[in-house]
Amino acid sequence: MKCNSKASLSFIILLLPCFVFSQNFKIVPLGVKGGIDESNLSAYMVAPNGTDSYICLDAGTVHYGIEKAISNKVFSIPAEQVLRRYIKGYFISHAHLDHISGLIINSPDDTVKNIYALASCIETIKTHYFTWESWANFADEGEKPALNKYRYKMLLPDSVTPIQNTAMTVQAFPLSHSNLTSTAFLIRSRDAYLLYLGDTGPDEVEKSNNLHNLWLAIAPLVKSKQLKAIMIETSFPDEQPDKTLFGHLTPHWLMAEMDELSTLTGKAALNGFNLIITHVKPPQVDIEKIKVQLKAENKLRLNLVFPEQGKALNL
């Protein structure tokens, strides 16, 4: 009897971390800026908390970000092992170089894994980057010979796709980004969700409904508190004229979109909600301006998070 209760107690203790930690997400930003500084471009490793089965959302800067995270004691294995073993797949929002150059440069050292993206993004990677003129074809389609290290996994909007070698699933939503289609990825782990948006402009400037449709899709998850955070860009300060936004957001336009979301969720649901600001464009004075303006315009009292390279966020 005594022995039995001891056994069940250790069983509970063993299970405890699963219940406490695996519900939500761990985010390791590998790069947080929207340009110029090639050592700090958009890339975010995401895993269910308590696991090392990460995906990489965009891959502008990979190696330098992993080194930064190691120096902050986020990882305790060498950088090449983080790349090879912890990253289980890449999600590329669009094929602009600041979102994919890290993946290309690290490809010779990487292991077999999937690249998930919408069809148009895969087409650009296939015909412009993984070719024998610009690099080597490390993928499984396109110019021959194909080295077969990366497998293209085309995401269809509106369908939920399991993410191989992780316990997560993904749903992709198209975004309007000037002349191209960018992507939002809705990541699910158990009952928790995380929404990551690639570059996008506001619906009003882009003459689009893409953000509105995205807000419609995720509003119920905000209300039920299953959505743990939205990761969204703010590239320029408010001084940037609409005609030179090139498919990006400012503090004003981000908050206009959050107002739009609040008409679907109610204002109270967004009070304290995690809004992670990505893709801030240098110079540093502009980045500081973006932060000041966002705080001043935060009438909904969102919890504004400014991620730092190599510093883990737990949601």
* Residues forming the site for Zn ion (CB under 5 A): 96, 98, 199
Cβ at position 128, least distance to Zn ion in Å:
14
Closest CB to Zn ion among 22 and 124?
124
Long-range CB contacts for residues 208-212, cutoff 8 Å, separation at least 24: 208/176, 210/173, 210/174, 210/175, 210/176, 211/175, 211/176, 211/257, 211/260, 212/260
Structure tokens that stand for 4 in this block? 């039995």
Torsion of CA 103, 106, 112, 118, to 10 degrees: 10
Cβ at position 182, least distance to Zn ion in Å:
7
Cβ at position 303, least distance to Zn ion in Å:
24
- Distance, CA of 113 to CA of 56 (rounded, Å): 11
Cβ at position 174, least distance to Zn ion in Å:
14
Pairing of strands 150-154, 160-162: unpaired
Cβ at position 264, least distance to Zn ion in Å:
26
Residue type, position 309, single letter: Q
Closest CB to Zn ion among 48 and 247?
247
Closest CB to Zn ion among 132 and 246?
246
Closest CB to Zn ion among 37 and 199?
199
Radius of gyration, alpha carbons of the chain: 20
Closest CB to Zn ion among 219 and 287?
287
Closest CB to Zn ion among 176 and 265?
176
Report the helix count and the strand count for the chain, using DSSP H and E.
9, 14
What value, to the nearest 5°, has the Cα angle with vertex 173 and ends 141 and 171? 75
Cβ at position 225, least distance to Zn ion in Å:
30
CA within 13 Å, CB half, 44:
32
Cβ at position 41, least distance to Zn ion in Å:
8
CA within 13 Å, CB half, 92:
32
Closest CB to Zn ion among 64 and 273?
64
